[in-house]
Amino acid sequence: MPLRVIMSQEPNSGVDLQPIRLRIREKQRSYASYNLSPAQNDLLRAFFDLAQEFDSNEDFYRVCVAALFEFLGLHSRLYLFDKGQEKLILVCESQEGLPVKPVAAPAQVRLTCKSYESGQSLLVPIHRKPSPDREHGEQPVALQIMGVLEVYPLEKISRADRFFLRKYTNRIGYNLHNRLIAHENIRHLQFINNLVMDIEHNVITPNMYFKHLFNQLKSRIGEIDELEILLSGLKTAPAVSGTDCELAMAKMNDLRRGLLENYRELLEHHANYSLFLESLFRRDHFAQGRFVPRLRKCSIDREIVSLQLDHFLSRFGARGIVVERPQDMQAEELFLRVDVGLISQVYTNLFSNAVKYTGKIISRNGEPRKAVAYGRELLPDYFGPGKAAVKFNVFTTGEHLCEAEAKTVFTDGVRGERAKVESGTGHGLAFVKQVVEIHGGVAGYEATEEGNNFYFILPLSAPG
């Protein structure tokens, strides 16, 4: 006998829909009392349809102001509150569209919870979608209001229009609130994806160096076995000569020095690895969806550059690359407020690229040269009058990048033709650019007489 599903006919079967039904009835009564004109009703329908149709915020801004003119013949300007600048910014107007560059609102346009008149305009606040855990009255105005819609000319705005405009700006606020949350979530996900690449590039790959260090330790253990055999032979020998003892002592001293060097290298690599882990896995990064630097005053050369360079000296040596150290950085310490972990990874990426791509050239003196050099220079007024900067350079000898590569070298995933013979993801320089920019600086590339210079410029007084 086939199984039958019997639907309950009890009156309470739809009890979970009751709150929604009550809200729908409230809306029905509200809409009936609004007494909106056909044009106003058509405007709202068009607004809702177009708000779904256009994905970009810029197009949404255009819809907000254009719809008012097309349906009601009213011009308008849309201002939104910029948290970073802490002021209202014009984002679109019905006569000119989007401004070419950000324009601050005039003094008469201000954040307020109620509509008001100014000159020939009516200014209507755009309310944010209420927070579920806080009432509007408990929040500062800047948290309640997202912006202001300026509508003009005033003589064309009737009392019924004023009521409608309050409802219309509420719809703008709700839509904009949801859009901003959606865009913020997308940016958050993009940051997480990039952070995964940062972790792979700056943490997982360097972690493979531990394998090299463990292999060195394994070799030392083999030397201990050889020393044990030698000492066993001496123990059973009828007579032990001074030469045999000196040989055993020499092997023991070499082994001791080697183990101490292995210990030092493991300790330093572990400290560096831990620094990178801490700077990439901070809770603040994940919570805010962006790198949140922890700035502290430090000696750039002593606490960052020299320590990172030490990890690459053996690799430079293995490829026949000479390291040319600047005298100025060592003779005169420069202190800046930076995130030590993140800037350390900037230098790690630049030195790692130097290992891979430094080439041999014939210098201006007619001699072969294969070298990496680093240094710094002060740039007075670089960021404006009285705003000095410091340019940090990592130079390598070799062929110049072509013009196309030079323009895209800091783009994520982009690798030049010569880079394809080396392992890599094309992510390192994109990471460098991102970290430098959150410090208020700029990163760049320039061709020099005998090679390539990758640099980054930081304000002498870092933000924060």
Distance set, CA 37 to CA 31, 34, 284 (Å): 12, 9, 50
Q: For residue 340, which of 313, 306, 389 has the smallest C-alpha distance?
A: 306
Confidence of residue 389 (pLDDT cuts 50, 70, 90): very high
pLDDT, averaged across the chain: 85
pTM, rounded to two decimals: 0.66
Query: Tell me: the pLDDT tens digits for 331-376?
Result: 577 899 999 999 999 999 999 999 999 999 998 888 999 999 999 9
Least confident range from 89-103, 249-263, 310-324, 369-383: namely: 249-263
| Sequence-separated (6 or more) residues with CB below 8 Å from residue 39 | 71, 72
Top-level CATH class of 19-184? Answer: alpha beta
Query: Tell me: the pLDDT tens digits for 11-60?
Result: 455 577 888 888 888 888 887 788 889 999 999 999 999 999 998 899 99
Q: Classify burial at 217, counting beta carbons within 10 Å of its beta carbon; exposed 0-12, middle 13-18, buried 19 or more.
A: middle
- Name which residue leads in pLDDT, 233 or 109: 109
Ordered by start, the domain boundaries in the chain are 19-184, 208-280, 290-459
Per-residue pLDDT, 131: 61
Per-residue pLDDT, 6: 46
> Which architecture, in CATH terms, is 290-459?
2-Layer Sandwich (3.30)
Q: What is the average per-residue pLDDT within 401-419?
A: 78
Question: Residues 126-161, buried b or exposed e (16+ Cβ, 10 A)?
Answer: bbbeeeeeeeeeeeeeeebbbbbbbbbeeeebeeeb
Query: Tell me: the pLDDT tens digits for 84-112?
Result: 788 899 999 999 999 988 889 999 998 88
